[in-house]
Amino acid sequence: MQEMNNVQKPVIGVDLDGVCADFYGRMRHIAAEWFELPVESLTTEVSYGLKEWGVTGTRYDSLHRFALHQRELFRTMAMIPGARKYLRRLSDEGYRIRIITHRLFIHYSHASAVQQTVAWLDRHGIPYWDLCFMKEKSAVGADIYIEDSPENVIQLREAGHQTICFANSTNREINAPRAESWAEVYRMIKEM
């Protein structure tokens, strides 16, 4: 009888917004509606917090609450190309996909955020074993993280975690390893 290979593949900690789901693309349309501006007037080159669109202070919470409750932000975002394909490939190869997102920061909106998140993941066919809603992403115990938030990338790396920065306009100052696409993420994970 052939001996079974019991070597466990790494756990991949995957952020959602800006990594799997096009948060900035969807928020751009919602912000244009909120501020009653043509969508073309809002730049696609944003920084973390969206100050380029005039979102400051408490305006972010108001906009985000409107986006979540009136426009179902977490249910209606487009998928970033390649996310499903490469996450399925990794899952089929035995990697454990652990979705880690910090979507519970708007008080009294947790049920909507969780329901919309699960519906989005199911609708787009994103494979995952674990779904974690938390700010401190290093606490979930992944072996490799895919993250776009500059603050999170820095914190994860400083804690000694292998972290691939999923590139967008909010994190241009973050050093390699960086991936411009899910094909690059897949290649980097296989090399790690």
Digit-coded pLDDT (tens) for 27-71: 999 999 999 999 999 999 999 889 999 998 788 889 999 999 999
Q: Is residue 42 part of a domain?
A: no
Q: Which residues contact 26 (CB under 8 A, 6 or more apart)?
A: 67, 73, 76, 77, 78
Amino acid (1-letter code) at residue 107: H
97: pLDDT strictly greater than 60:
yes
Catalytic residue among 15, 61, 92, 122, which? 15
pLDDT tens for each residue of 107-161 = 777 889 999 999 999 999 999 999 999 888 988 889 999 999 999 999 999 999 9
Domain that holds residue 128: 11-22+78-191
49, part of any domain: no
Asked whether residue 40 is assigned to any structural domain, the reply reads no
122 is catalytic: no
Please give the pLDDT value at position 126: 97
Residue 3 pLDDT > 80, yes or no?
A: no
pLDDT (tens digit, 9 = 90+) per residue, 68-89? 999 999 999 999 999 999 999 9
Count the neighbouring beta carbons within 10 Å of the beta carbon of residue 167. 16
Instruction: Give the Cα separation of 131 and 169 in Å (integer).
Output: 26
> Does an H or E element contain 30, and which?
helix 23-35
Residue 122 amino acid letter: D
Specify if 44 maps to a domain.
no
Assigned domain for 62 exists: no
Cβ atoms of 140 and 100 within 8 Å: the answer is yes
Going by C-alpha positions, the residue among 153, 150, 146 that lies closest to residue 185 is: 146
Q: Per-residue pLDDT for 182 more than 70? A: yes
Task: Determine, yes or no, domain membership for 48.
Answer: no
> Has residue 117 been placed in a domain?
yes
Angle at 26 between CA 91 and CA 161, to 5 degrees: 40
Annotated catalytic residue 17: yes
In a domain, 39, yes or no: no
Q: How confident is the model at residue 5 (pLDDT cuts 50, 70, 90)?
A: low
Predicted pLDDT of residue 172: 94
**What's the order of all strands across the beta sheet hosting 144-147?**
130-133, 96-101, 11-14, 144-147, 162-166, 178-179
How many domains, the chain?
A: 1
Residue showing tokens 């938390």? 134
CATH number, residue 146 = 3.40.50.1000
Of 17, 92, 122, 130, the active-site residue reads: 17
